[in-house]
Amino acid sequence: MRISVICVGRVKEQYLRDAIAEYSKRLGRYCKLDIVEVADEKTPEHASDGLERQIKAKEGERIAKHIRDDAFVIALAIEGKQLTSEQLAAKINDLGLPSHIQLIIGGSLGLDPAILKRADYLLSFSKMTFPHQLMRVILLEQIYRAYKINAGEPYHK
């Protein structure tokens, strides 16, 4: 199975880059993983609603260039469905081989409505908001956990 994580912005903090590298390495046993970073837009303090829509649209255009027609697209969105780790594992397992799953993490303002509409599935990790850079680590950890669950291998709870 191929897993692509499409995300807005670069990870600046070394400790987060280290965690991303560790989970990427661990996932190499189970799938072909690639992480695609698209440029983020600068968002000024107190940006108007119109400017925020423009920023999300620009970031959305960059994301859309990487979405493949043959992929199952999962967008991370606060309004998405919340799953347990076991349910996420089942979702990944149900998609089967030789699927290509693309998971999309938006920028600090979230995802453009066009990307949400294109997604095959909206996934929420919580009603809380997380920094998008940290979300990359959390997502990779949960994908790794899903593969461990599906393989019947032990993993800490």
71, 102 contact by CB (below 8 A): yes
Q: In 10 A of CB 109, how many CB atoms?
A: 18
What is the per-residue pLDDT across 72-102, written as a single tens digit (0 to 9) for each?
A: 999 999 999 999 999 999 999 998 866 899 9
Can you give the pLDDT at residue 155? Answer: 80
Q: Where are the beta strands (DSSP E) in 15-135?
A: 32-38, 72-82, 100-105, 121-124
CA distances 134 to 12, 35, 63, 102, 108, Å, are 11, 14, 19, 18, 11
Radius of gyration of the chain (CA): 15
Distance CA 66, CA 57 (A): 15
CA distances 113 to 52, 133, 143, Å, are 12, 21, 25
Amino acid letter for position 23: Y
What is the per-residue pLDDT across 33-78, written as a single tens digit (0 to 9) for each?
A: 999 999 999 998 899 999 999 999 999 999 999 999 999 999 999 9
Can you give the pLDDT at residue 122? Answer: 98
